[in-house]
Amino acid sequence: MPLENMKAMLSKAAAGKYAVGAFNVLDYNSTKAVVQAAEELRAPVIIQTSAKTVTFWGSRTLMGWVKELAARSRAPVAVHLDHCKDLALIKECIEAGWTSVMIDASAKPFEENLFVSRQVVEMARPKDVTVEAELGAIVGVEDDIHVKEQDSHLADPAQAVEFCAKVQPDCFAPAIGTAHGIYKGEPKIAYHILQEVAASTRVPIALHGGTGLSDEVFKRCIALGCAKVNISTQIKYAFIDGFVAYHSAHNTQYDPLKVIQAQFDEMKKAIAADIQLFGGAGKA
């Protein structure tokens, strides 16, 4: 199928109380794992690329893989640029065929975040490209943020309403206490903020820092309005672990295609389990 943007995908998910998995890909093999897992489960899916990955491979190369895999698949596929601060790269991805982009101006003061995010919406909308914008600071667990500091990074619900009214993003990423990376302890999720923001903005919410959250946390967040769940760290682990496990078990065999197949199987297994957990199976 041709690539689509996130608009219909996420509004259907929000109405149906499930979430679309957004998986950060690393190469052709991981992109193929995302598309095949979605196709087998008849689920909509989002191929997500970090700015770093786009820069590493080049936007045209990456888009070539995505288009070729999506065209051969019956799964509805969107391709989304994750956390991007660089307007030139956003423009490049829109021109290269990305159907969705995230502007992350969350480190800037509120008014500036609003202005820059709005600029991206104005750049993307005429091309039928959807936009995700962030408010508050979604931290990395490696940032070593203490509990009190953590609270000060969360999105303010009143500001969230103003932000969404003025920016009109297609997807909204308020900081609600989840973090990127591997959680060291029990994450402290501000469910009250999520609930208030989802109900008052009526914009589908993206849940960042999905790796390591319990099934219960996912279910609760999805029930409260998270229509997109981001999974990145888990794919990185499956990518490396798939390689290491195969090589340790066959340490005299130097057959790279078998290693690549083992990585593919490991990533696809993790992706399929997530799609099922988020309720996306059978929704395509």
Active-site choice (82, 104, 170, 274): 82
Between 208 and 268, CB nearer to Zn ion: 208
Between 41 and 120, CB nearer to Zn ion: 120
Task: Match 């973090």 to its residue by tokens.
Answer: 179
**Residue with CB nearest Zn ion?**
208
Does an H or E element contain 231, and which?
Answer: strand 226-231
Does an H or E element contain 173, and which?
Answer: strand 171-174
Shortest Å, Cβ 64 to Zn ion? 25
**CA-wise closest residue to 31 among 5, 7, 57, 9:** 57
Between 99 and 230, CB nearer to Zn ion: 230
Shortest Å, Cβ 204 to Zn ion? 15
Provide the mask over 174-213, with x wherever binding to Zn ion is found by CB under 5 A and - wherever it is not. Answer: ----------------------------------x-----
Q: Which pair of structure tokens corresponds to residue 85?
A: 């601060």
How far is it, in rounded angstroms, from Cα 138 to Cα 236? 19
Backbone φ, ψ for residue 25 (5° rounding): -95, 160
Show the DSSP H helices in 72-207 as ranges.
87-96, 110-124, 147-153, 157-167, 191-201
Shortest Å, Cβ 239 to Zn ion? 18
- The answer to whether residues 228 and 13 touch, using CB atoms and an 8 Å cutoff, is yes
32 binds Zn ion (CB under 5 A): no
241 is catalytic: no
Shortest Å, Cβ 180 to Zn ion? 6
Between 64 and 212, CB nearer to Zn ion: 212
- Total residues contacting Zn ion by CB under 5 A comes to 1
**CA-wise closest residue to 180 among 231, 226, 228, 222:** 231
Q: Which residues lie near Zn ion (CB under 5 A)?
A: 208
Enumerate the active-site residues: 82
